[in-house]
Structure formats: C-alpha cells, structure tokens
Amino acid sequence: MNDKLLFANDRFYSLINLGDAEGVQSQFAREVPLQAVHPGRAPMTEREQVLSSFRELCLSPPQIECLNPVAMQYGALGVVTCLEKIGNGYLSASNIFVKQGEDWRMIAHHAGPLFDQDYIGQIKKDTQSVVIH
C-alpha cells in the first residue's frame, strides 16, 4: 500500500535532480495550503512562496540522493521520512503527501541538518556498493 507513496516521493527527488521545475510543481497538491522549510531558511506557508522556492532550486539542481525512505499512511495522509545526501552532506527530511484521486501529492517538505554521526555511519554502511570481481 505504501509503494505508491514511496513512488511519489522518489518521483519528487528525480524531478528535482533533473531540474524539471514544472514536473516538481506538478507533484504538489492543488487547491490546498502548502508548507516548506529548507535548511537555513524561514518556514514558508504561502503556496506561491513554496512553489517559487522549488523553481529556484531547479535552476541549479543539487543531486539529491534519497536514502532510507520510510513511508507511513494515515488514511488520505502520507508521510515519508528520509535522509537526503547532497555531495558529502546529509539532511534529515520529512515529506507529507495527501491523496488526490489515485495520486499522492505533496503538501509539505521539511529538510534540516543531520548531526547524528552514528546514524550517518550506519546509513553509509548500509548503502555501500558491492563490487564483484
């Protein structure tokens, strides 16, 4: 059941990595309030402010690797928590979705610095590539 929610979360990051501003905006819910908090920025609670921040992000898209996503569904509300790996840095993120028709659409995104070195070390260990000779 959470596969569609994880797919929506993955699609969101894929579109950001491609710098596809229109695609990213299409992932947000329509006709409902939106919220976002980007690292180092004040919380945004105005719809246009949130969408504008993602258009700006797509102008020079960072390559975000979404690690360890965990999805939980509460009726028509879904939450995905994950680790965002950007270069050598890590952010802890929460993405909140609402069900609109058959699709999950984002209503809130929050990302902030992650300082838990034990957790980062475990994630690094769990995501190392295996090389077969």
Digit-coded pLDDT (tens) for 37-85: 999 999 999 999 999 999 999 999 999 999 999 999 999 999 999 999 9
Residue 131 lies in a domain: no
Q: What's the whole-model pTM score?
A: 0.89
Residue 132 lies in a domain: no
Question: Where do we find the tokens 């908090």?
Answer: 37
Our count of domains for the chain comes to: 1
In angstroms, what CA-CA distances link 79 with 29, 53, 89, 107? 14, 21, 23, 10
**CATH code of 12's domain:** 3.10.450.50
Q: Which amino acid is at 4?
A: K
CA pair distance 26, 32, nearest whole angstrom: 13
* Residue 131: per-residue pLDDT: 39
**33-48: pLDDT as tens digits:** 999 999 999 999 999 9
Residue 112 lies in a domain: yes
In angstroms, what CA-CA distances link 4 with 69, 76, 80, 118? 13, 12, 11, 30
- Domain extent at residue 96: 3-119
CA pair distance 30, 5, nearest whole angstrom: 17
**115-132: pLDDT as tens digits:** 888 887 787 766 654 333
Residue 129 lies in a domain: no
